[in-house]
């Protein structure tokens, strides 16, 4: 059995880590490089950074954060937000990112997934998906920070993204984001069973049991969270100890 991964998520705005609920009610948390170093020492397997402003006037600041993080930590980290072209991939990879996550740009230009995978390898290309259940019980793909419904079916888009070369999927469920009532197990399991690449569950962790549920019932390969780690509600080492006691293989 492959070890399951625990991944803190750092949403970055104007050079600071912030956190909201269902993409709103944004609160300031900490300096991203300081927080990244803390998590690396605390036992995180990887980190994910999202530039939630993703505007051109913030791009230089964000690249500085990538460089400083790469110089500070020794665990892999992924960068997402505002990635629109192979040139953006180039800048982030050269600045020290291990993986690049794309969402809206992948929907607008699916060939970007293929081109990036051919240039850097699938292991460097992460397809990020913001999804929400519709009135018919199916899951739609959203873009532009969860504000725009594409009408695309989440499972079909996941399959297409992997076929184009995505080496990993981050699945974020908008309705559970920051709510702390648990991950959306049904869609996580469906997508995990539909693709041959790792699926990282995102959105909804509030207790250690929620992590256990999504890694077992939801069949996720990794669990990503922000609030419970940022506000010290769950310590990563204690979480891993709990998961091991329940028979889940995690990295020490």
Give catalytic residue positions.
11, 130
Helix (H, G, I), strand (E, B) or coil at 173: strand
Nearest-angstrom CA–CA distance, 243 and 142: 32
CA–CA distance, 91 with 174 (Å, rounded to integer): 29
Question: Contact at 8 Å (CB) between 127 and 102?
Answer: yes
Q: Which of 47, 9, 15 is nearest to 30 (CA)?
A: 15
- What is the three-class DSSP state of 19? strand
Find the distance separating the first CA and the last CA of the chain, reported in whole Å.
Answer: 15
Extract the runs of DSSP E, i.e. beta strands, from 54-179: 77-80, 99-102, 125-133, 139-143, 148-153, 168-173
């Amino acid at each position: 059995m492959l070890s399951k991964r625990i991944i803190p998520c750092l949403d970055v705005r104007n050079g600071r880590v912030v956190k909201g609920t269902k993409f709103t009610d944004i609160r300031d948390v900490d300096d991203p490089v300081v927080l990244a170093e803390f998590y690396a020492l605390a036992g995180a397997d990887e980190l994910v950074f999202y530039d939630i402003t993703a505007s051109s006037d913030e791009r230089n600041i964000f690249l500085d954060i990538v460089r400083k993080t790469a110089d500070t930590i020794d665990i892999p980290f992924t960068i997402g937000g505002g990635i629109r072209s192979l040139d953006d991939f180039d800048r982030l990879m050269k600045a020290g990112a291990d993986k690049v996550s794309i969402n809206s740009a992948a929907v607008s230009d699916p060939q970007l997934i293929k081109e990036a995978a051919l240039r850097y390898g699938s292991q460097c290309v992460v397809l990020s998906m913001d999804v929400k259940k519709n009135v018919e019980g199916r899951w739609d793909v959203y873009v532009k920070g969860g504000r725009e419904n594409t009408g695309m079916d989440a499972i079909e888009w996941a399959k297409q993204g992997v076929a184009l070369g995505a080496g990993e999927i981050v699945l974020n469920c908008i309705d559970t984001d920051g709510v702390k009532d648990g991950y959306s197990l049904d869609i996580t399991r469906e997508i995990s069973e539909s693709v041959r690449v790792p699926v990282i569950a995102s959105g909804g962790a509030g207790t250690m049991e929620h992590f256990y549920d999504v890694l077992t019932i939801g069949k996720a390969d990794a669990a990503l969270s922000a609030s419970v780690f940022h506000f010290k509600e769950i310590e990563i080492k204690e979480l891993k100890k709990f998961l091991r006691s329940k028979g889940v293989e995690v990295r020490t």
